[in-house]
Amino acid sequence: MPTWVVIVIALAIYVAVYVLYGRKVARDVVKVDPTRQTPAHRFYDGVDYVPGKWPVVFGHHFASIAGAAPIVGPIIALAWGWLPCILWVWLGNAFIGAVHDFLALMASVRYDGKSIQWTSGEVMRPRVSFIFSIFVYLTLILVVAAFANVLAGIFIATPPVATASLLFIAVAVLIGYLIYWKKLNLTAMSVLGVALMIAAIAGSFQIPLALTKNIWMVIFFVYIVVAAALPVTILLQPRDYLNAYLLIAFLVLGGIAFLGVQASMTWPAFTSFSATVIGGQPSPFWPAVPLVIACGALSGFHALVGSGTTSKMLDSEAHALKIGYGGMLTEGFLSTLVIVAVGAFGLSVAGVTASAVGAAGWKALGIPVFSQSYAIGVNAVFGISVAFGAVFASLTVAAFVLTTLDTTNRLARFAWSDILTRGVRSEEARKKPVFRFFTNNWVASVIPAGLGIYLATVSGVFSALWAAFGGANQMLAAIALITSSVWAVNVMRAGRACLVALIPAFLLWVTVAAAYVWYLFTMAGIVNPLTLVIMGIMLILSFYLLYEFIRALRKGPAKTA
Amino acid sequence: MKPISFLVHFLKDFERGIRSRSTDYLAYELRELENIFSLLLLGSLIGVPSPPSSLSFRLFPHMLREIYVMGKRTKDADDVSGEIFGLFAP
Residue A289 pLDDT level (bands cut at 50, 70, 90): very high
Given a contact cutoff of 8 angstroms between Cβ atoms, the answer to whether B41 and B59 are in contact is yes
At residue A516, does pLDDT exceed 90? Answer: yes
Identify residue A313 by its one-letter amino acid code.
M
Over residues A504-531, mean pLDDT: 92
What confidence score (pLDDT) does residue A463 get?
86
What confidence score (pLDDT) does residue A558 get?
61
At residue A275, does pLDDT exceed 80? Answer: yes
Domain with A170 in it: 3-48+55-555
Over residues A394-412, mean pLDDT: 86
Q: For chain A, positions 444-463, list CB contacts with chain B under 8 A.
A: none
Residue A17 pLDDT level (bands cut at 50, 70, 90): very high
Cβ-based neighbour number of residue A274 at 10 Å? 15
In chain B, which residue's Cα lies nearest the Cα of A403?
B90
Q: Which of B21, B28, B84 sits opposite A240 (nearest CB)?
A: B21
Residue A560 lies in a domain: no
Instruction: Report which of A382, A73, A84 is spatially closest to residue A374, judged by C-alpha positions.
Output: A382
Query: Cα(A22)–Cα(A325) distance, rounded to whole angstroms?
Result: 7
Residue B17 lies in a domain: no
Instruction: Report which of A143, A2, A153, A28 is spatially closest to residue A499, judged by C-alpha positions.
Output: A28
CA dihedral A79, A210, A240, A229 (to 10 degrees): 110
At residue A559, does pLDDT exceed 60? Answer: no
Q: Which of A45, A115, A231 sits opposite B85 (nearest CB)?
A: A115
Q: Over pLDDT 90: what percentage of chain A?
A: 41
Count interface pairs A-B at CB distance under 8 A: 151
b/e A229-251 (16+ beta carbons within 10 angstroms → b)? eeebbbbbbbbbbbbbbbbbebb
What confidence score (pLDDT) does residue A320 get?
94
Residues of A in contact with B71 (CB under 8 A): none
Q: Any idea what the CATH number is for the domain that residue A101 is in?
A: 1.20.1740
Query: For chain B, what is the total number of helices (H) and then of strands (E)?
Result: 4, 0
Residue B34 lies in a domain: yes
Query: Cα(A535)–Cα(A155) distance, rounded to whole angstroms?
Result: 28
Residues of A in contact with B82 (CB under 8 A): 114-118, 304, 307-308
More confident residue, A477 or A45: A477
Mean pLDDT of chain A: 88
Q: What is the pLDDT of residues A308-340, one digit of tens each?
A: 888 888 999 999 999 999 999 999 998 999 999
| Residue B13 in contact with partner chain A when CB distance is under 8 A | yes
Q: What is the pLDDT of residues A524-552, one digit of tens each?
A: 888 889 999 999 999 999 999 999 888 98
Q: How far is residue A281 from each of residues A79, A290, A463, A560, measured CA to CA in Å?
A: 12, 16, 10, 49
Helix, strand, coil proportions of chain B in percent (round to 5)?
85, 0, 15
Residue B27 lies in a domain: yes
Residue B29 lies in a domain: yes
Residue A561 lies in a domain: no
Count the domains in chain B.
Answer: 1
Residue A230 lies in a domain: yes
Residue A176 pLDDT level (bands cut at 50, 70, 90): confident
Q: How far is residue A495 from each of residues A36, A91, A222, A390, A488, measured CA to CA in Å?
A: 22, 24, 53, 51, 9
In chain B, which residue's Cα lies nearest the Cα of A45?
B69
What is the end-to-end Cα distance of chain B in Å, rounded?
Answer: 37
Handedness of CA A140, A141, A146, A151 (dihedral sign): positive
At residue A398, does pLDDT exceed 80? Answer: yes
Given a contact cutoff of 8 angstroms between Cβ atoms, the answer to whether A173 and A227 are in contact is no
Over residues A505-512, mean pLDDT: 94
Residue B10 lies in a domain: no
What confidence score (pLDDT) does residue A24 get?
93
Query: Cα(A544)–Cα(A131) distance, rounded to whole angstroms?
Result: 9
Phi (first) and psi of residue A306, to 5 degrees: -60, -45
Count the domains in chain A.
Answer: 1
Residue A315 lies in a domain: yes
At residue A218, does pLDDT exceed 80? Answer: yes
Domain with B63 in it: 23-87
Alpha helices in A205-235 (DSSP H): 213-229
- On the 0-12 / 13-18 / 19+ scale of CB atoms within 10 A, A328 is buried
| Residue A55 in contact with partner chain B when CB distance is under 8 A | yes
Contact B13 A231 (CB under 8 A): no
Residue A494 lies in a domain: yes
pTM recorded for the entire structure: 0.89
B42 φψ region: left (φ > 0), alpha (ψ -120 to 50), beta (else): alpha
Angle at A99 between CA A49 and CA B24, to 5 degrees: 30
Contact B86 A117 (CB under 8 A): no
Instruction: Report which of A359, A427, A310, A259 is spatially closest to residue A58, judged by C-alpha positions.
Output: A310
Q: What is the pLDDT of residues A437-462, one digit of tens each?
A: 888 888 888 999 999 999 999 876 88
Contact A136 B85 (CB under 8 A): yes
Query: Cα(A186)–Cα(A193) distance, rounded to whole angstroms?
Result: 10
| Residue B24 in contact with partner chain A when CB distance is under 8 A | yes
What confidence score (pLDDT) does residue A470 get?
93
Q: Which of B19, B27, B82 sits opposite A114 (nearest CB)?
A: B82
Residue A425 lies in a domain: yes
What confidence score (pLDDT) does residue A34 get?
92
Query: Cα(A524)–Cα(B75) distance, rounded to whole angstroms?
Result: 47
Q: Which of A198-202, A360-364, A468-472 has the lowest mean pLDDT?
A: A360-364
Residues of chain B with pLDDT under 70: 1, 89-90
Residues of A in contact with B74 (CB under 8 A): none
Over residues A104-125, mean pLDDT: 89
What confidence score (pLDDT) does residue B1 get?
65
What confidence score (pLDDT) does residue B39 get?
81
Query: Cα(A66)–Cα(B21) distance, rounded to whole angstroms?
Result: 12
Chosen from A41, A49, A50, A56 to mutate, greatest number of chain B CBs within 10 A: A56
Residues of A in contact with B31 (CB under 8 A): 47-48
| Residue A105 in contact with partner chain B when CB distance is under 8 A | no
Residue A508 pLDDT level (bands cut at 50, 70, 90): very high
Contact A309 B87 (CB under 8 A): yes
Over residues A125-151, mean pLDDT: 89
Q: Which of B18, B27, B68 sits opposite A247 (nearest CB)?
A: B18
Query: Residue A281: enclosing H or E segment and its boundaries?
Result: strand A281-284
Q: What is the pLDDT of residues A474-489, one digit of tens each?
A: 999 999 999 999 998 8
Instruction: Report which of A477, A481, A509, A489 is spatially closest to residue A28, judged by C-alpha positions.
Output: A489
In chain A, which residue's Cα lies nearest the Cα of B15?
A59
| Residue B32 in contact with partner chain A when CB distance is under 8 A | no
Q: Between A98-110 and A326-350, two packed helices, what is the crossing angle to 10 degrees? A: 150
Phi (first) and psi of residue A284, to 5 degrees: -65, 135
